Amino acid sequence: MVALALWASPLAGQTSTVDGQVRVGTGQEETGGASVKLYDPQLGLVDSTMTDTQGRFYFQAVAPGDYTLVTSKEGYYTKEQDLKIRIAMAGQYVTVFLTPEGALMKGKGKPEVSAAELALPPKVRDEFEKGKNELKKKKYKSAIQHLKAVTDSQPQFALGLEVLGVAYYRSGDSGKAGAAFQKALEQDSKRGECYIQLGLIRYEQNHYAESEKYLQTGLGMEPDSWFGHYQLGLTLFALGDYPRSETELRKAEELDPSFHEVHVRLGNLYLRKTDAAKALAEFEKYLRQDPNGRFAVRVREVVKEMRTAGVTPPS
């Protein structure tokens, strides 16, 4: 019997592979040169690599277990996310989204943000600039000290709290980062992107129900956020809510048709729902849209196996 999963189940004791791509928040492919490191909580660094010119990376011979994937590149915020490798999977596909430095500090160009910063007392505004500069230099401890001084002095300064959250996140303290983002929202509850950031943090911490809540709230304010819908689709998939996951992934596809790999996600979702016909349709759509894509060779092999097994797409 030919396995219809995108990655067939390995025999006990076999290792797995990790394929992925680094992309920026807009959905455009990363231009390469990002550092990707795989950490084991007990053993430390397991392997490291650099992305190619299309943002792609690959790890082989990865033993089943829980890992942390750390991706960094000059000019972008470092991203940490959990990665679970299970014996039932012969391979793992990962998409990493990097946010350009300063993107979370610009308040999307809203006039009230600029006015709030300009309204700071001169000494506090100088402290805020020092904090941002230290953050750009990746001197997180110093950045946090400056930014804490700002937010302690001006607890209603939402932008300062948001940047403080970024500094905590960059330093690896997701707990304090989340608390800072929440405080920022207490001062400015209409910052949809801030809710989405909280949703991402909760997803990375495997708190999927909370992730869903934050993402839903953020999308209520930013309904055209392609990334928000895509992330909500992943969160719902993790929760086992496949119908709603499908809806969100479809919305992400509608908002950003250039992100062809969403069809791989949809194909695997249909396989989880034991609907091989629809899975085949998604895999073939991916091949039509991105015939030379990172996963084209593997998907083409799976499509051939599925066709051989008698699977046909819906008419």
pLDDT digits (tens, 9 = 90+) for 18-61: 888 888 754 455 667 888 989 887 778 888 888 888 888 888 88
DSSP 229-264: HHHHHHHHHHTT-HHHHHHHHHHHHHH-TT-TTHHH
pLDDT tier, 186 (very low <50, low <70, confident <90, very high otherwise)? very high
Residues of the chain with CATH 1.25.40.10: 103-189
pLDDT tier, 258 (very low <50, low <70, confident <90, very high otherwise)? confident
pLDDT digits (tens, 9 = 90+) for 65-85: 888 888 888 777 777 788 888
Residues of the chain with CATH 2.60.40.10: 1-100
Classify domain 1-100 at the CATH superfamily level.
Immunoglobulins (2.60.40.10)
pLDDT tier, 14 (very low <50, low <70, confident <90, very high otherwise)? low
Tokens (6 digits) for 285 = 């759509």
Instruction: Note the helical H segments in the chain.
Output: 111-118, 122-136, 140-153, 158-170, 174-187, 192-204, 208-221, 226-238, 242-255, 262-272, 276-289, 296-308
Over residues 280-284, mean pLDDT: 95
Most confident of 110-114, 159-163, 249-253: 249-253
Instruction: State how far the Cα of 244 lies from the Cα of 250, in Å rounded to an integer.
Output: 10
pTM summary value: 0.57
3 pLDDT higher than 50: no
Of 173, 198, 204, nearest to 96 by C-alpha is: 204
Over residues 171-179, mean pLDDT: 90
Instruction: State how far the Cα of 82 lies from the Cα of 188, in Å rounded to an integer.
Output: 30
Mean pLDDT over all residues of the chain? 83
Q: Which distant-in-sequence residues (6+ apart) come within 8 Å of 314 by Cβ?
A: 277, 278, 281
pLDDT at residue 103 in the model: 52
Q: Which distant-in-sequence residues (6+ apart) come within 8 Å of 158 by Cβ?
A: 113, 116, 184, 185, 187, 188, 191
pLDDT at residue 101 in the model: 63
Classify domain 103-189 at the CATH superfamily level.
Tetratricopeptide repeat domain (1.25.40.10)
pLDDT tier, 114 (very low <50, low <70, confident <90, very high otherwise)? very low
